Amino acid sequence: MEHNLSDMRRHYEAAELSEENTPASPYLLFNSWFSEATASTIIEPNAMTLATASKEGKPSARIVLLKEINKDGFVFYTNYQSKKAKNLEENPAAAVVFLWDILEKQVRVEGRIEKIDPQISEDYFYQRPIGSQIGAIISPQSQKIATKDILLNRFKDLENSGNIKKPDHWGGYVLIPEMIEFWQGRPNRLHDRIVYELISPGHWEKHRLAP
């Protein structure tokens, strides 16, 4: 089936975003928007596209899940031996994008990445469902495997043994934001874009961008 992509478009008019109706802190606005997203029918409102780059500048992107927002930034968990982790070791600059399409909202965050406290990773690991714990242990993330049966057999073996322990190669990262942009869809592609830029610790400068 052929798709006429040039005719695919949507008229945005769900809300409006102005300098006057946005708070001084981007975290307050993010929490407000995130509450809207969690109250909506969006399946995984905490899904975000994480973009990284190698030391040569070769980009890579994938969906990860936001698991905490704290005073430092946006926290997610992964395998420290994965492709994304290797990128972040070489180049700790990263960006995430949240798209809440039915709300006609988007948030972009740019900043630097750091590993979180190992004890926090440890505590979170054992809060996860047992199946997720086992999956994190047995999967050599981003590496080639011959067949899926290898993973399924490893899963059964570990499930039967009950010897489940957080591996050293699994844990959390925090994206410490230096820029947070809020995008609200508007008619005629004249979208509202309000960006916050960190000018000193705890102090943000807010301005509008052209769509």
Q: What is the largest CA-CA distance in the chain?
A: 60
- The rounded distance, in Å, linking the Cα atoms of 78 and 124 is 12
Question: Is 128 tagged catalytic?
Answer: no
Degrees, nearest 5: CA angle 196-96-206: 5
Beta bridge partners of residue 171, listed in sequence order: 78
Q: Kindly name the residue from 154, 189, 193, 208 that is annotated as catalytic.
A: 189
Task: Give the residue numbers annotated as catalytic, written as ranges.
Answer: 189
